[in-house]
Amino acid sequence: MRHATLFLASLTLVAAAACRGSDKATGPLAVALAADGNVTMVVDGTPWRSAKSGDHVTLSNRILSLSAIGDSGGTHSLIITLSGVLGSATYPLNAASPSNAIISIPTGGWGTGFAGGTGSVTITAIDATHVVGTFSFDARPGSGSATGTVSVRSGLFDLAF
């Protein structure tokens, strides 16, 4: 039940971010290359960087929630929710895990919480004010016009609480 609640909360955040989007995207996952944030990744072979104003991370009751928006218009968003965070470790992302990752554009979203989604997040450093880590995942379609699998590689985050 807790996994379902976390997943639905994450999906709600993705939907809210997507609603702020613009029509700048030229393909299903066209990405922003000139952003200034502290979250980076390679989405289906294309580099992506968050907009600093869209970076956000919280840690409460051992649940870490990270969100990032890819450009000033909010066209792309990433949400990672990790459950049971006790410190530096690797956390699995899949349908059987209480942790998940979601990537979205205004017309749809993909997630690791759907059947066939897989990946992991590794927290390499964490203290009361800061978290650093890496991530990689394959996300399955879950909402809107999303189709196929989205491959996310070389993910990095370095964020202050």
Q: Residue 134 sits in which domain range?
A: 2-160
Strands 39-43 vs 150-160: parallel, antiparallel or unpaired? antiparallel
What is the tens place of the pLDDT at every residue in 81-125? 999 999 999 999 999 999 999 999 888 999 999 999 999 999 999
What does DSSP assign to residue 113?
Answer: T
d(CA 120, CA 138): 10
Give the pLDDT confidence score for residue 30 in this predicted structure.
Answer: 44
How many residues in total does the chain contain?
161
What is the tens place of the pLDDT at every residue in 49-81? 998 988 999 999 999 999 999 764 556 799 999
Give the pLDDT confidence score for residue 74 in this predicted structure.
Answer: 56
> Residues 55, 78: contact at Cβ < 8 Å?
no
What's the total number of domains in the chain? 1
Q: Among 141, 143, 123, 142, which Cα is nearest to 133's?
A: 123
Q: From residue 160, give the alpha-carbon distance in Å to each of 4, 43, 55, 134.
A: 27, 24, 9, 15
What is the tens place of the pLDDT at every residue in 134-158? 999 999 999 999 999 999 999 999 9
Q: Among 119, 140, 98, which Cα is nearest to 9's?
A: 98
For residue 13, pLDDT over 60 is answered with no
Q: Among 50, 54, 47, 30, which Cα is nearest to 39's?
A: 50
d(CA 25, CA 29): 7
Q: What is the DSSP string of 41-100?
A: EEETTEEEE--GGG-EEEEETTEEEEEEESSTT---EEEEEEES--SSEEEEEETTSS-E
CA angle in degrees (0–180, nearest 5) for 27-69-141: 50
Between 19 and 121, name the one with better pLDDT.
Answer: 121
pTM, rounded to two decimals = 0.79
